[in-house]
Structures are given as C-alpha cells and as structure tokens.
Chains A and B, each alone.
Chain A
Amino acid sequence: MPERLLLTGNHAAAYGAMLARSEVISAYPITPQTMIVELLSELTASGRLDAKFITVESEHSAMAACVGASAAGARAYTATSGQGLALMHEMLHWAVGARLPIVLTNVSRAMAPGWSIWSDQSDILSQRDVGWMMLFAESVQEAQDFIIWMYRVAEQVFLPGMVGMDAFILSHTAEPLIVHDQEAVDEYLPGFQPLYDLDPEQPRAYGGLVNRDHYFELRYKVYENMERAGQLLIDAGEEFGEVLGHKYTPLEGFMLDDADYVLVSAGAMTSNVRQAVRDLREKGIKAGLLRVIAFRPFPVKQIRQKLGGRKKVAVLDRNMSAGHSGIFAEEIRSALLGRPDAPPVYGYVVGIGGRDVRVETAHEVMNDLLVRDEPEMSLFVGVKGLPIGPLRSDYEIRPLEPLEVMR
C-alpha cells in the first residue's frame, strides 16, 4: 500500500532512489544535499534497500563510481549540489559518451565565490550541454517521482538524467509525500536490462580510442536518442499516471488556454508564480503560467504550441548566463525564433543566490511586463537600489589604459 508521510525534498529523493531499487549508490556530502546520502546510507545499512553504498572522497569520484557500476550493469544513483556538480563535469560527459543511464539528483545551489548554499539554478544549467536529460521538480512529491520517471526513460535511450530541485525551498521543506507501493513501482520500472555489462565471457573494450571515422556517428546517436527521449518522457509520464496515480508531462500549463500574458518558470518558485497568476485572474488580467519540467530534451514543439500567439511572454530565470541572458529565456527565445506567431519574450532574472522569489515578486514582474514595450534580454528584479530593468546605464566600467605604443 502507498504510504502518506510528511517528508523533506531530500528525504523524498532518497525514497525515490530506494523505490527505483538503485543497486549502487555513490555520493559525497555537500550542503544542502547531504540528507539524501545520509538517509540512503541508513536505508542500505538497515537492509531496507539492497544496494552497495560507496562513500567516495569527492563528487568526481562519486560520478566515476557510478560510471563503473553502470557500465557493469547496475542501476546507479548519486546526488550532489553546486560545486559538487561542477566537479563532476568531466564524468558527466563520460556517462553520456559511455551511454550509461545513471540518475542524479542535484539540489541546486549558487556557485562560489562568495560561498553560498542558497537556491540558484546556475549550477545545473551550467551542465546544459553535456547530454544529460534534465527535469526540474517543483514539489517534494516530484523530487521522489522524477527519479523513477527518469530511470524509466534513461534505460530506454541509454542516456543519463538529472533531477533538479531547489536548495532549502524543496530540499529542507517538509510536504506530504505519497511513498508509492514498491510492487507498483516495480511494475512501472522493471530491473535494468543493460546491453553490455563487462562480461568476462565477452571480452570487449569500452570507451577506447575512436578515430575520426567513427566519433561523429557515436555523437549523432547521442543526439538521436535524446530526441527520442522527448516522446518517451511523454509516454512514460502518462504510464506513471496509469500505474502510480499521477501523470507527468514535460511542460505544464496553468490558466494557459486563453492567457494573453504568460509567465514561464521552472522549479519550486513556480508555486509562487502560480499563486500570482490566480491573483491576476481575479483582477481580470488574462495571465497564465507555463512551467518547464523537462529542460533536456527541450520540448521545442510543445513550447511553440503553448506560447505561439500570446501578447507577451515573461521568463523568470533564477540563473544567468553573463554576456547573454537568463538561460530559460534564451532557450524559449530560440524555440520561438522565426515562428510567425512568436510572442515577444521578456527575460527576467530573479532570486539569484537564494534571494526570495515571492508571490509579490511575480506580481512585480507582471506589472513591469504590462507596461514595458521592448522585450529586453535581461531585466533584473530585486537588485538593491535598482528598479526592475536592464543593466544600469550610468555605471562606467574602468576604461582601457592608453598603450605606450599608441602615444
């Protein structure tokens, strides 16, 4: 029977890894993820989860251990955050090239310096191009369920996937959680069936030297499988509803059908944006919400369909790519580029380094959106002493010193 418990996002993630029957878990502590590995250590030590837990000496090694375990045919799981995810970067690539369906939970945290443990999506979005699937959880329930949903797809396409959740706002906040019946999860997610498992009877070499006449094709297949994963996420999300009671989709709309002004958001701050949309509707403003759940593969077609023809779109980014814009905004713009019904996309950068994104923040964004003519790349919300807007124009950057030779 499913259980209903009051748990934090971190503990929910540990339950997700347990329900998915992860066989090898390797992780390194980092705030605010640590509770995940603590609970998984307990679950494996008590025998409730039949898995090997490897307490490695770094996140780089955590991912490397997962690579070894997955290559040998085990279902592998790890969890990390911020600096830890950055340290894993090399091995994140390795997991993709080696086609290993590892699942990772990243509790998103701001990057140092200065040291910050607070919520910020820059860590996970910095891994955008490594070739991992990426899902963004909004609730404790999703922090658990997305791990199971991710494995279901990852093991079909032989690509790894990460589930993002927000530091503290999700990781340390207790919400009611339905812990699914194990038999039902087993029905949804059968055991991992690897194509290769380092069988000494089949002495092959994996991941060695490839010359220019083969490498391109290997990467083409990565791309191809990532594309396939788009539809599989939809199908597996539907199956999740059939077997485990809640249907998941790569995108989620709220009051979207007739909305003129759409706020786009991902992760836990979406709950506040949703509340703002409710408020706005009461005031007669035709606002709507589009929540991005799947970031890789990016649901380009569905985004065109959901956002085409709107009056204005505001994308809330709890991250920024200095020199360009918020990363979700960048992706949404690129999905809509050249479409005859493409709405103007306004990029709003909010909540960097864990600064609160409240319902009021979403209202401020909407108030600005309604009166602003130019769809700016980056509009900063809540920088001390500055109104919502693009970069200040009165700040002089240190000019180049004249060179001797020019005199």
Chain B
Amino acid sequence: MRWVVPEAEHMAEGTLGCQGCGGALSMRLVLKELGQDAVAVLPACCWSIIDGPWPVHALDIPVLHTAFETAAVVATGVKAAKTIQGKDTTVVAWAGDGGTFDIGLQALSGAAERNEDILFICYDNEAYMNTGIQRSSSTPTGTWTTTTPDQRPEARPKKDIMGIIAAHRIPYAATATAAYPEDLEHKVRTAVSIKGGMRFLHLLSVCPPGWKMEADQAIEVMRRAVRSKVFPLYEIRNGREYTITHWPDDLPIEDYFSLQGRFKPLLGNDEMLELVRENVEERWQTLLARHERSHSGAPA
C-alpha cells in the first residue's frame, strides 16, 4: 500500500533537533496527515527542547507542554474541554519512550482502558536522550547507555509496549518509522480517521548522538531495523486483528546493530547476540502467527 506524502509543511525549519533526529522527522511527517484542527500535548522529552524556547514555536498547531508522566491524561482533559465546547479537534499526546514506557505508562494505561478519544504517539529513541542517554525500559538488550555502561550493558529485552497497548483492546495501534514515510502517513491518516476511541502509534525514531552513529545514516538505520525484523511494521485493530504492513527481507540483525556504536557490547558478546537473535525471531513468529490468524477468516 503506497500513499503520496503530502508536500505541505507544518513544521518550521531550523528547530533545535540534533542532526538526523528521528523525533523531529517523525513530527514533520505526522503533521502532514494530522490536519489543522489539532492540538499537541508534549510531556518532558526531547521535543520540549526541539519546539524552541519561549516565544519560539515550531509547529502550526498549538502545543501544551506538560509534566513528564501526564501526556495521555492532559490530552484527555483537553479533549474533554473541546468536546464540551462542541469542537471536533484532534488531540495528540506526543511522548518519548520515557513518557510512554516508563513514567507515562500509568496515565497511558488509564486513558487506553477508558478508550479516550485521543491519539497517543510515542517517538521511541530507546533511551532518555534529552537527559543525556540513560536507559529506559525501551532500551534493547545489549545496549550501551550512560547507566548501562560497557561493563554492564542492558540485560533485559525492550518492553513490549505494543503488547501492553493491545491488551487494552483500543480501536487502533500501529508501529511505523520515518524510514517508510508512505506507511507512516497511511497509519497517521487511519488513526486520525478513527474517532471516538484511543489510537496509539509507536514510531521508532533514530537518535544519532544516543545511538552513537553518523547522522547521515539515520534513515538507513531505521530501515534496517524494519528489514531485520527488529522493528516490524504492523497494525493492531481492537487489540486482536494484526496486519503486517511491510514485509522484512531477512537482513541479518548484525547489519542493523553494526551501524550503531551503542551496540558495541552486544556485538562483542556472542551469547547475548544469540539471545537477541532468538528473541527477535520468536517475536516475529508470534507476530506472523497473529497476522495469519487475523487474515485466515478464523475468529481472531
């Protein structure tokens, strides 16, 4: 499925994002399909900086900055006000992985369980990048961060946030990445069009400084994450119906990891690398089975 990426830009040039910032690119692409009657709620994250200090503002929709753990519920409050005012404004919570997987999870789960009429978008750069690269529960196995140094790299796998979200049985959830913009735009468009319930987008968003890599490899690295099945692209409707939206091509996972200095501990540890390989394959097979069941005509 291919969609033309709209040409119109809704984000100013010259934001404070780092070179090759996946979060900034994700925002730029999302805005293209979000529509103009929208409000974004931003908890503490890189985007607290990227949007610029007062009185600068990079987006052509309003932004309400809020506390770290509150993106989903502040968006809920904004939506409640808009609804009571008779407006149909799209309210987006835009959070990093910390504000989604960790400190923001309680409010996110609350909003998802209540099926609030908001769109929650996580731009996931797999660590606390704004505070200078500390591990989060989104940090994958074998990763270096300043709190998982080379001598003790991240031991646990990345938290399965999509599984958690699916368990809430919200109308729509999807993974996407700016390396596949047509796929991303399609999912934003779908999410915006589904009204009356919670929608969740999980966007893998490269962070060249935090991932210890060259900025000009930003798109390539996100593409390899998808091709190697480390970050598959799919949709989940109503928490049960899975659809893989882009088929990976068996790129070895090492080809994804080797572009990034943060995986040096992993690449130097065969045992850990095997564990990761098994984990990636096991998750892929689970996803594939769900996809096939969802599209077999049998009950999901």
**A contact set with B: CB distance below 8 Å:** 23-24, 26, 50-52, 54-58, 60-61, 64-74, 76, 90-91, 94, 197-200, 202-211, 214
Contacts and interface: CB of A to CB of B under 8 A. Distances in A.
Nearest to A73: B81
Chain A CB within 10 Å, residue with most, of B57, B64, B66? B64
B59 A57 contact: no
B52 A67 contact: no
B65 A206 contact: yes
Chain A CB within 10 Å, residue with most, of B39, B70, B80, B109? B80
Interface stretch (B22-30, B82-90, B204-212, B268-276): B82-90
Contacts of B278: none
Given A65-B77, A205-B57, A209-B53, 7 more contacts: A24-B81, A60-B69, A67-B74, A91-B67, A205-B62, A205-B65, A214-B54
A203 B59 contact: yes
A199 B82 CA distance: 10
Contacts of A50: 84
16 contacts: A24-B84, A54-B76, A57-B110, A58-B110, A61-B107, A64-B107, A65-B73, A68-B79, A70-B77, A200-B61, A205-B52, A205-B57, A205-B63, A207-B65, A208-B51, A209-B49
A173 B283 CA distance: 58
Contacts of B282: none
Contacts of A52: 80-81, 83-84
A147 to B, nearest CB: 19
B67 A90 contact: yes
A61 B81 contact: no
B37 interface: yes
A200 B37 contact: yes
Contacts of B69: 60
Contacts of A94: 66-67
B77 to A, nearest CB: 3
B79 to A, nearest CB: 8
A54 B49 CA distance: 30
A64 B77 contact: yes
B234 to A, nearest CB: 28
Nearest to B61: A203
B115 interface: no
A87 B7 CA distance: 45
A288 to B, nearest CB: 45
A52 B77 CA distance: 9
Contacts of B166: none
A206 B54 CA distance: 9
A200 B70 CA distance: 21
Interface in B197-255: none
B280 interface: no
Nearest to B58: A205
A72 B114 contact: no
B148 interface: no
Interface in B76-104: 76-85, 89
A57 B112 CA distance: 11
A207 B110 contact: no
Please list the 6 inter-chain residue pairs (A to B) with the smallest Cβ-Cβ separation, ordered nearest first.
Answer: A68-B77, A57-B110, A72-B81, A74-B81, A65-B77, A68-B74
B63 A208 contact: yes
A204 B62 CA distance: 5
Nearest to B37: A200
B80 A69 contact: yes
Contacts of B15: none
Contacts of A24: 77, 80-81, 84
Contacts of B134: none
A51 B85 CA distance: 10
Nearest to B54: A210
A69 B81 contact: yes
B294 interface: no
B287 interface: no
A231 B52 CA distance: 38
A58 B109 CA distance: 11
Chain A CB within 10 Å, residue with most, of B36, B38, B61, B110? B110
A91 to B, nearest CB: 6
A379 to B, nearest CB: 40
B212 to A, nearest CB: 26
A68 B64 contact: yes
Chain B CB within 10 Å, residue with most, of A57, A68, A69? A68
Contact of B114 (A55, A66, A210): A55
B110 A51 contact: no
A200 B78 contact: no
A71 B80 CA distance: 11
B119 interface: no
A214 B54 CA distance: 9
A91 B70 contact: yes
A23 B82 CA distance: 11
Given A69-B81, A74-B85, A209-B48, A64 B74 contact: yes
B78 A72 contact: yes
Given A60-B69, A64-B73, A208-B52, A71 B64 contact: yes
A61 B83 contact: no
Contacts of B49: 209
Contacts of B76: 54, 56, 65, 68
A266 to B, nearest CB: 31
Given A23-B84, A208-B63, A61 B70 contact: yes
Chain A CB within 10 Å, residue with most, of B60, B73, B76? B73
A58 to B, nearest CB: 7
A69 B74 CA distance: 7
A65 B59 CA distance: 23
A211 B66 CA distance: 17
A69 B78 contact: yes
Contacts of B121: none
B106 interface: yes
Contacts of B81: 23-24, 52, 68-74, 76, 197
Contacts of B77: 24, 26, 54, 64-72, 76
